A and B are shown apart, each in its own frame.
Chain A
């Protein structure tokens, strides 16, 4: 897995910035599985046939294989173990694949349409014991979007075999912090970056010498809201991914923090202390109308919409210690959700409404934990330290979070059931504040 590390030089038109910061490099994240499921599904992914004269810019079958491997639920067969490389059904000998222990077989072929400058990939998934076709289809893309084809095939296969929507075509936004040395002096540079869920295709959204935090996706995946200290005071901005266009949406006196976009995209929940105390508000994005949600002398922060859009959860120390509460917007009724431990914060509820994922302190150490909202049971998911900023995948199965490894901040992920664990180390700097995108429309 580690060989997929790649470093790119950022070419800047801005000469002065370049002169100040000669080490403007960023690295793609790598993914290392540290714990997978006990009985992963065995699948043989045969290298796709490619009829072009030049090599393919991307190895699509490898992208699919890596996606499925990284889910922790699949065990792709090494290519070296394969007895043949079929591309069409009449070339498949199911007995061979059965003998090799494959439960599923994926074959396919790729063509290039020179006129449209598009790659077309056709794939077919078979169940090996039955010899039956499970799913077949085709996707096309231009060169820069070629990896999308691999992820789309992975999504199809994952969905067909597990019954759960695949999230391989999603992205993660996160914040990096680098030290930059100029003439023996060092200062920090903060960046807001977006990468594919597999860590590839890193794009920079913002660079600043002041901190950036709390990025959050709009429901359509086209905007990111975040907190930036670029004016030396916290302010909330939204930024359109396609154009880079930014809008300052909140810069009141005091705190402007923890933006969380509603599922219908119309509102952003946020924290403001303009009235003297950190309170939860909702902001109507179109009308700019603010609505105050909480009124309490304690700290109220980290609002998150519940899937129904009618209530929010938030962190409050109104009981003396930080705990997670729920507020129903229509009635203003507030109920406490967490009771185990003396620090529960930054909660998010899974799309099915069943689980509350949060930062939870046990024996003085901060872990990611999940509380079953129907039974009340709390389960610690991580064993690392200083774990924070959990963000749930759109299908509700995985949680990406920030943790420490050595003296570096890195991202890691764990499945909500605790069975799969992985690390996403970056080759340099501190990485933190991950936020998982919604499912993007292709």
Chain B
């Protein structure tokens, strides 16, 4: 096992990626864009440390990122849910419609939908709940005309909270689906 792990991280570049993608608060954050407002609703919290190295140096590279991917940066990529619910909330539909439009523009683009739950309740139930949430978003996009082949879902349950607090404000931030393009 250890040797396998060593293989996975043994190149210098992989190490740099891993370290660069880790923000100082412990979460693995990719701040793609803040949508011109500072609410976390507009922050994409990545769950894959092996991509988007520019995350930790976002301030320096914001301008060129915006020019290169204006459409992506216009999207809101986190959608929130009520407790023990996988129903799409009405405050997410505008963002999801934009995501669908973007995905329909270029059928070569795909999205990974990561489903998450807050810490309350049991871990395996939350794993199922996270999947439910990701599938709800998937179904919404399918109904909007996005191809199934463009969408992948994965659940992280309560294992990767966006915020580490133990109060309702934190829990609300953690009941989410994150779209990763």
Contact = CB atoms under 8 A, between A and B. Distances in A.
Contacts of A20: 9, 15
Contact of B123 (A17, A185, A214, A361): A214
A271 interface: yes
A345 interface: yes
A273 B128 contact: yes
Range class of the B interface residue count: 35 or more
Contact of A209 (B49, B84, B122): B49
Interface string A305-327: 00000000001010001100000
A257 interface: yes
A67 interface: no
Contacts of A315: 122, 124-125
B18 A302 contact: no
Interface in A150-201: 179, 182-188
Contacts of B128: 255, 257, 271, 273, 278, 299, 301
Given A187-B18, A404-B166, A346 B124 contact: yes
Given A322-B84, A345-B122, A301 B2 contact: no
Given A278-B128, A302-B125, A315-B125, A186 B22 contact: yes
Contacts of A131: none
Contacts of A211: 156, 159-160
Contact of B125 (A208, A232, A345): A345
B81 to A, nearest CB: 14
B21 to A, nearest CB: 9
Contact of B19 (A182, A188, A232, A257): A182
B112 to A, nearest CB: 10
B123 A213 contact: yes
B124 A302 contact: yes
Nearest to B23: A185
A65 B124 CA distance: 38
A351 to B, nearest CB: 22
B156 to A, nearest CB: 7
A416 interface: no
B163 to A, nearest CB: 12
A234 B22 contact: no
Nearest to B50: A232
Interface string B1-40: 1100110011000010011001111101000000000000
B125 A214 contact: no
B123 A433 contact: yes
Contacts of A299: 125, 128-129, 132
Contact of A301 (B15, B127, B160): B127
Given A17-B5, A345-B122, A321 B84 contact: yes
Contacts of B22: 185-187
Most buried by B among A271, A301, A433: A301
B26 A359 contact: no
Nearest to B153: A254
B178 interface: no
B7 to A, nearest CB: 11
Contacts of B154: 232-233
A234 B123 contact: no
Contacts of B157: 213
B127 A234 contact: yes
Nearest to A358: B122
Given A213-B159, A229-B156, A229-B159, A16 B127 contact: no
Given A179-B26, A255-B128, A301-B128, A389 B1 contact: no
A244 B120 CA distance: 33
A389 B123 contact: yes
Contacts of A359: 121-122
B123 A14 contact: no
B26 A186 contact: yes
Interface in B107-155: 119-125, 127-129, 131-132, 153-155
A244 B1 CA distance: 8
Contacts of A146: none
Given A186-B22, A206-B1, 16 more contacts: A16-B9, A186-B25, A187-B19, A211-B159, A232-B48, A234-B127, A271-B128, A278-B128, A301-B125, A322-B84, A322-B122, A343-B121, A345-B121, A366-B121, A386-B119, A388-B122
Interface of B: 1-2, 5-6, 9-10, 15, 18-19, 22-26, 28, 47-49, 56, 84, 119-125, 127-129, 131-132, 153-157, 159-160, 164, 166
Shortest Cβ-Cβ A-B pairs, 9 listed:
A211-B159, A278-B128, A299-B128, A258-B124, A346-B122, A345-B122, A187-B22, A185-B22, A301-B128
9 contacts: A186-B25, A207-B5, A254-B131, A257-B124, A257-B128, A271-B127, A299-B132, A302-B122, A322-B121
Interface of A: 14, 16-17, 20, 179, 182-188, 206-209, 211, 213-214, 229, 232-234, 244, 246, 254-255, 257-258, 271, 273, 278, 299, 301-302, 315, 317, 321-322, 343, 345-346, 359, 361, 366, 386, 388-389, 404, 407, 433
